[in-house]
Structure 1
Amino acid sequence: MGSVTLPEAEAKELLDAQAHLWRHVFHFLNSMALKCALELGIADTIEKHGKSITLLELANSLAIHPNKVPSLHRLMRLLVSSNFISKETSANGESLFALTLSSKLLLTNHPLTQAPFALALLDQTLIDPPSHHLSSWFQNEAESPFHISTGKSFWEHAGHEPKFNAYFNKAMESDSRFVTSFLVTNESFRGLFEGVESLVDVGGGNGTTAKAIMEAFPRLKCTVLELPHVIEGIQENGSGVIYVAGDMFEAVPHGDAVLLKVGSVYSLLFLLFFS
């Protein structure tokens, strides 16, 4: 195919369209860079350093192979562009890297850490095989792309893989802790519990949300309904939370109110991959 000559205005529009396309084609690199940063412990290392860190200081702390230091610099540039790391230049012209508010949420010792959530949702089991089966899923009777790649539903897979199940439960716990910490101090949310004496948290995981609600509203009786493999081995530990093993599509325990915490991200994710 030969070259095409276009008017300047049309050429600019096409270049903008190509840039838009490229942003989506390569956007996965941002997610993989974030995963890499979590696995290397970059945020924790910078926090432990106590101040802005140079590239070589970071490389030495992370035991990066000497040949890979230039690649580490490229990784840091990508993290800077996605606002997970900030960069300034020292008086001698050296780059200094520091944490942003977003990367502080990735610290393992942060009370509202989102590191388990990010690592679980970027896990190869959830991302790689299912995403490559999405188009074929639309053209056959398979339950989900996840089912095509593993031969099981998401919940069946979690039930047979204790390590993966624990991984995912930690992710849901970190997300629940983050969301609930804001909800229990919100006056509109608190008003919803007026006159409510019992609450059933459907799909409540290990009870993180229920425990926080009971701490804010001691009069409430909270029950967590979860799949058996999720709550297996969980003890009440004096929290007062009642755990019931079951399937919400079959029966839900009685309560004055039912809580089902499913955000838009979860809805889309489970619709596309795990439904």
Structure 2
Amino acid sequence: MFTRKSTLIGLALMAAGLTAQAADWSDTSIGYRYGTKFAEPFNTSDISKNIFNLSHASGYKYGSNFFNADMLMSDKNDSPNRNTEAHELYIVYRHTLDFGKILNKDLAVGPIRGFGFTAGFDYNNKSGDSYQSKKRMLVAGPTVMLDVPGFLNVSLLQLWESNAPATHPDRYSYDPHPMLNLAWGIPIGSLPLSFTGYANFIAAKGKNEFGGATKPETNIDLAVMYDFSSLVGAGKNTFKAGLGYQYWKNKFGNDHNAAAGDGAFAKTPMIRAEYHF
């Protein structure tokens, strides 16, 4: 069961990862995404969303940190009565310990650059729609770092997830369940282009808070970004813009072939922009 103690453990994990060691490298950015084909379960309408985000990645002596906070601002199609706009805050934090760095030993083998262990949490709070999600989730599991230009990490994570939506009187904990996660940032040759994104393949999480069965979930979010920093006299990788696409089948474990309908199967092109500092 996901408890307040678990939440405090997650916050402590983030604080420890961000402050325990001086960073060997870091990349902080603010970004913007926009699309008109977002979808939500049990909603038949296309939804437009403006998404503003703050992201931070850094490496230190024993591993790396990743933090991202999205502020998602939907149009009125995300509201049950179409007279208000929905707002959502979604936070992701991951801390990866690199076993090679800890042991001061090269663990590379074949296409694998190294091995590690990842832990962290997801947090969200949404208002303005009928569900009003308040997700809390801890994650932990092994990570393999592949030997590619940039990075490509593959993690097998166990998830402990709960929610306390407005439609349910108490916080409800789903069955612990696994997720295969891929995260990447790969330059495209010598061009000022990069291919970035993540893919989550999530197992069913037992019964939902209403007693219905959940389904396996696929969430793939990718983008091709162009570095136009030199065009405005800025340093490399300062300003980026590009096109993104999100494929989200059985969103939040809802069966898109059942009552949740097409809103549980999002296929969303979007534009993106980032400023790195």
For the aligned pair, the TM-score class normalised by the smaller chain equals under 0.3
Greater share of residues in strand: 2
Higher alpha-carbon Rg: 1
